[in-house]
Structure 1
Amino acid sequence: MTQPHPTESMAAAAPVTTEAIRAAVDAGFPATVADLARLVRIPSVSWPAFDPTHVAESAEAVAELLRGTGVFELVEVRRAPVEDGSELGQPAVVASRPARDGRPTVLLYAHHDVQPPGKDEDWETPPFEPTQRGDRLHGRGAADDKAGVMAHVGAIRAFAEASGDFDLGIAVFIEGEEEWASRSFANFLREHRDVLAADAIIVADSGNWDLETPAITVALRGAVAFNLRVDTLTHASHSGMYGGAVPDAMLAAIRLLDTLWAADGSVAVDGLRSADLETPEYDEAQLRSEAGLLDGVSPIGNGTILSRIWAKPAITVTGIDAPDVANASNTLAPGVRVRVSARIAPGQDADEAFAAIRSHLEANAPFGARLTFEEVDTGQPFLVDTSGWAIAETRAAMAEGWGREPVEIGVGGSIPFIAELVEEFPQAQILVTGVEDPDSRAHSPNESLHLGVFKRALLSEALILARLDARATTS
């Protein structure tokens, strides 16, 4: 790969105009939305409890869309072993077109798998029946991240149509297990390094500031998740006969979990650190509107609201295995299992963070309760280097596509595989973009995509491709 000179840009040589790309996006947008709807209808949940044939079907559908662009020499569905080599991961799609005349290569990433839908009764429309209501397309994966897939496909189509021919190298990696911890991701990168190597990487899996303002994500929290078993008895016992003298597992679990937080709801685990990030103005009213806080329920934590989300750790109990209310007998539970999900600040190592949380729990186990840690998953946080030429080209393309300068944001969620991309391709510049907005409700019931945001994001990416294709060589 040839690195373009950082001062050279589309202004020096523009093979295709913004107007031509905009016209191609406009003409192709109805078909792009229709293709997105077809992808949403495939329930490609990558979790082990769900039918894997749907993920395979989704991968084949994405591969067919990429073949249909007519620009790639290679389009294949491939799999790689998971981390421990015990099995193959979910199917991913790779495509590539080599650069010509010293132009750079860009790698486009998104994922075609989705979160489980949850309870049907929590959805206002069927989760896997894409439904347009006003300016929003509703459905599981409509935003996260099948819209990211289609932003890539639509941008490639529009750029290719407007330019006729181009020299830019394009590689595509559409993952099939991002929602299940990307367990084969590192092996996939190593096995397909020659196909995926690039000068710049666009990760289309984030969001925007609002409906009218684009964003480039420059900070991501890391993730630590695990199952915690709390055991106090060898078997269940009658709560009337032994209650008051024998600690049951539920009591121990509640007392233990409560030690994770201070009175204001901030994390109270020694060894978990915060990052020093500047945050834009964002008030409590906006938080209430976007998060759905009930009247009378107060925010938690301390510091600016965005620093709590972008730059500080957070711990959430996302699941509990215990007798449900319908089957609650008068017994002392011998064991309880909970799922603990922690987000860690940029700059802290994920394994270090897990060790701190484990040490805290072991030191605070009440009544001598026995703790067991299972299914530990970690993902590293990330800070983007914003000084490179690719970021500059992206800012300019977004300003053209949206008619407004982008803002740089942090994200409270995690994209752990970005650290693996950096490890495998240390010279590549990472660009984290997205199609979501504050009301997309990714991972939640009633997930949706704002079609105006989607179109502007797609246009911006097509303009990014044009700007990268126009960069002069250094040779």
Structure 2
Amino acid sequence: MTEPTATPAVPTPADAAAVADLRARVAAAFPGVRADLEALVRVPSVSNADFDQAHVAASAEHVARLLGAAGLPEVQILSVERPDGTPGAPAVVARRPAPAGAPTVLLYAHHDVQPPGAREDWDTEPFEPTERDGRLYGRGSADDKAGVVAHLGALRVLGDELGVGVTVFVEGEEEVGSPSFTRFLHTYADLLRADVIVVADSSNWKIGVPGLTTSLRGLVDLEVEVAVLDHAVHSGMFGGPVLDAVTLLSRLIATLHDDAGDVAVEGLVSAADPTVDYDEAAFRADASVLDGVTLAGTGPLTARLWARPTIAVIGLDAPRVATASNTIAPKATAKLSMRIAPGQDPAAALAALRAHLEGHAPFGARVTVRDGELGKPFQAPADSAAMQAARAAFADAWGTEPVDIGIGGSIPFIADLLEVYPDAAILVTGVEDPDSRAHGANESVHLGELERVVLAEALLLARLAG
């Protein structure tokens, strides 16, 4: 990080009076922050190609207007082509140059959202923000439009007293895997260059206790097809000597875990166990585990969640129950999602999983593997100057020390950021909590936590300036 040579207008908030002043300013600004979040949630900016992409464009324009009104003089809506030649989704980039000698901070969030899913699973309309019991419900309320307005709120509170340069980068296709991110980053490398990068797309430990994300698992996905017949045949006439493809695919999937539920694929690595653990009762409640269901795997829950590989079946192509006939299914396909531990090379993990699937073909069935997405894991240094500033800011905002957490999910583009900006310090923060239900029905953000996040980011920017 560049050492500033000028005294910032906002003093480093190392004393209670400075923190109290910023807290009061955030409280005064928060009704506007909430109103902006509600307006953004009403824009159904689903980046999945099966949905109307005009809403994604409208969302980008809305974000651009908000950032311009927040005092950022340079605001652009930009995009690049994806690797397949199709247009990338619109991203918003807004900048305010750094004062002489001060560092530049890149604030990342994304304005696109997941599809809402079945309407009957929601208690209220997915794109109509609704408050219940201190939480604001709606698709994108937590992931990640809350991240967008957290940046806005911090910038508004600091105003002309902002002592650092700021670039706000609000992506428009994170929920579909950021296909144009790498090309975008290389195309606009100078525009996005920063000393510190704050990625606001993670979670906190729990309500009232902040978290700093120090590790993320990587991602490998693929499709595996099991074929046993050239075409479907009568199950009464031919059943017995030939097992259907769904049964054989199920037997193949069953080889991926041992009897305890740990992943049984050779060649995968695990990271060190975290120093903090997750109370089992709290986990079962947060994950909505049904009574009587035994948790899978061995070792600390946080290790199973953050530091070890996992494999899940996330899709299945097989005859539908509603249209089933008395035939032996000739083939069936599953989509597998594997999360890999920090320290694991994604290509090596993919090769290990492919070798396992091909080597465990049941009854000699034909197994075909089609490679999918790869995403690198992330491990942050815990003692960088930026991390120390973040710890202090979070402790001041919440009144309690933050917990270093891992996240079982993946943010693969962080590896791209590190490749282009190897000297930048990356901080992964977020607004979500264990009950936010990101990607699911009844997604929500806790409004009290969102206000603390705005305060924490304002404190962080002031500390980075000082």
- TM-score interval w.r.t. the shorter chain? over 0.9
Q: Aligned letter for 1:69?
A: A
User: Does the 8 Å CA contact 2:217/2:407 hold for their aligned counterparts?
Assistant: yes
Q: Distance in 2 between matches of 1:85 and 1:294?
A: 42
Q: Aligned letter for 1:390?
A: A
Q: Distance in 1 between matches of 2:36 and 2:406?
A: 30
| Residue 460 of structure 1, CA deviation | 0.4
User: Does the 8 Å CA contact 2:13/2:462 hold for their aligned counterparts?
Assistant: no
Q: Quick one: structure 1 residues 12 and 230, their matched pair in 2 at CA, closer, same or farther if it must change by over 3 Å?
A: closer
Q: Distance in 2 between matches of 1:462 and 1:277?
A: 33
Q: Distance in 2 between matches of 1:40 and 1:353?
A: 37
Q: Distance in 2 between matches of 1:91 and 1:60?
A: 9
Structure 1 residue aligned with 2:80: 80
| Residue 346 of structure 1, CA deviation | 0.6
Q: Distance in 2 between matches of 1:189 and 1:373?
A: 31
Structure 2 residue aligned with 1:351: 347
Of the three residues 246, 249, 265, the one matched with 2:245 is: 249
Q: 1:266-307 CA deviation, whole Å, 9 max, x = no partner?
A: 110001111013231322212111111111101000011111
User: Does the 8 Å CA contact 2:218/2:412 hold for their aligned counterparts?
Assistant: yes
| DSSP 3-state at the match of 1:348 | coil
Q: Distance in 1 between matches of 2:296 and 2:13?
A: 51
Of the three residues 414, 417, 421, the one matched with 1:421 is: 417
Q: Distance in 2 between matches of 1:283 and 1:177?
A: 34
280-289 vs 394-403, which moves further? 280-289
**Alignment coverage as a number of residue pairs:** 462
Aligned ranges for residues 203-218 of structure 1 at < 5 Å?
Answer: 203-218=199-214
Q: Aligned letter for 1:208?
A: N
Of the three residues 276, 285, 310, the one matched with 2:272 is: 276
| DSSP 3-state at the match of 1:17 | helix
User: Does the 8 Å CA contact 1:3/1:199 hold for their aligned counterparts?
Assistant: no
Q: Distance in 2 between matches of 1:286 and 1:250?
A: 36
Q: Quick one: structure 1 residues 246 and 140, their matched pair in 2 at CA, closer, same or farther if it must change by over 3 Å?
A: same
Q: 1:107-130 CA deviation, whole Å, 9 max, x = no partner?
A: 000111111111111111111111
Aligned ranges for residues 106-145 of structure 1 at < 5 Å?
Answer: 106-145=105-144
| Residue 12 of structure 1, CA deviation | 9.7
Tell me if 1:368 matches 2:369: no
Q: Aligned letter for 2:26?
A: V
Structure 2 residue aligned with 1:102: 101
Q: Distance in 2 between matches of 1:190 and 1:258?
A: 42
TM-score by length of 2: 0.95
User: Does the 8 Å CA contact 1:256/1:365 hold for their aligned counterparts?
Assistant: yes
Q: Distance in 1 between matches of 2:384 and 2:38?
A: 36
Q: Distance in 1 between matches of 2:381 and 2:66?
A: 32
User: Does the 8 Å CA contact 1:279/1:307 hold for their aligned counterparts?
Assistant: no
Aligned ranges for residues 223-302 of structure 1 at < 5 Å?
Answer: 223-302=219-298
Structure 2 residue aligned with 1:38: 39
Q: Quick one: structure 1 residues 405 and 245, their matched pair in 2 at CA, closer, same or farther if it must change by over 3 Å?
A: same
Tell me if 1:92 matches 2:91: yes
| DSSP 3-state at the match of 1:43 | coil
TM-score by length of 1: 0.94
Structure 1: stretches of 5+ with no match in the other structure: none
User: Does the 8 Å CA contact 1:128/1:140 hold for their aligned counterparts?
Assistant: yes
User: Does the 8 Å CA contact 2:137/2:443 hold for their aligned counterparts?
Assistant: yes
| Residue 326 of structure 1, CA deviation | 0.9
Tell me if 1:64 matches 2:65: yes
Q: Distance in 1 between matches of 2:267 and 2:52?
A: 40
Structure 1 residue aligned with 2:153: 154
Tell me if 1:342 matches 2:338: yes
Of the three residues 445, 450, 463, the one matched with 1:454 is: 450
Structure 1 runs of 4+ aligned residues shifted over 3 Å read 8-14, 164-167
| Residue 373 of structure 1, CA deviation | 2.9
User: Does the 8 Å CA contact 1:301/1:308 hold for their aligned counterparts?
Assistant: yes
| Residue 3 of structure 1, CA deviation | 4.0
Structure 2 residue aligned with 1:25: 26
Q: Distance in 2 between matches of 1:447 and 1:456?
A: 19
Aligned ranges for residues 457-468 of structure 1 at < 5 Å?
Answer: 457-468=453-464
| Residue 27 of structure 1, CA deviation | 1.3
Structure 1 residue aligned with 2:314: 318
Q: Aligned letter for 2:120?
A: E
Identity of aligned residues (%): 54
User: Does the 8 Å CA contact 2:194/2:424 hold for their aligned counterparts?
Assistant: yes
Q: Quick one: structure 1 residues 407 and 259, their matched pair in 2 at CA, closer, same or farther if it must change by over 3 Å?
A: same
| Residue 349 of structure 1, CA deviation | 0.8
| Residue 4 of structure 1, CA deviation | 5.0
Q: Aligned letter for 1:227?
A: E
User: Does the 8 Å CA contact 1:159/1:463 hold for their aligned counterparts?
Assistant: no
Q: Distance in 1 between matches of 2:141 and 2:13?
A: 38
Q: 1:153-211 CA deviation, whole Å, 9 max, x = no partner?
A: 11111111xxx343410011111111111111111111111111000000001111111
Q: Quick one: structure 1 residues 254 and 145, their matched pair in 2 at CA, closer, same or farther if it must change by over 3 Å?
A: same
| Residue 366 of structure 1, CA deviation | 1.4
Q: Distance in 2 between matches of 1:422 and 1:131?
A: 38
Q: Aligned letter for 2:93?
A: V
| Residue 264 of structure 1, CA deviation | 1.3
| Residue 247 of structure 1, CA deviation | 3.0
Q: Distance in 1 between matches of 2:104 and 2:377?
A: 25
Q: Distance in 2 between matches of 1:182 and 1:134?
A: 34
Q: Quick one: structure 1 residues 50 and 374, their matched pair in 2 at CA, closer, same or farther if it must change by over 3 Å?
A: farther
272-281 vs 100-109, which moves further? 272-281
User: Does the 8 Å CA contact 1:397/1:463 hold for their aligned counterparts?
Assistant: yes
| Residue 73 of structure 1, CA deviation | 2.7
Structure 2 residue aligned with 1:307: 303
| Residue 455 of structure 1, CA deviation | 0.5
| DSSP 3-state at the match of 1:66 | helix
38-47 vs 194-203, which moves further? 38-47
| Residue 468 of structure 1, CA deviation | 1.7
Q: Distance in 1 between matches of 2:300 and 2:328?
A: 43
| DSSP 3-state at the match of 2:265 | coil
Q: Distance in 2 between matches of 1:3 and 1:407?
A: 28
Aligned ranges for residues 390-409 of structure 1 at < 5 Å?
Answer: 390-409=386-405
Q: Aligned letter for 1:306?
A: T
Structure 2 residue aligned with 1:219: 215
Structure 2 residue aligned with 1:441: 437
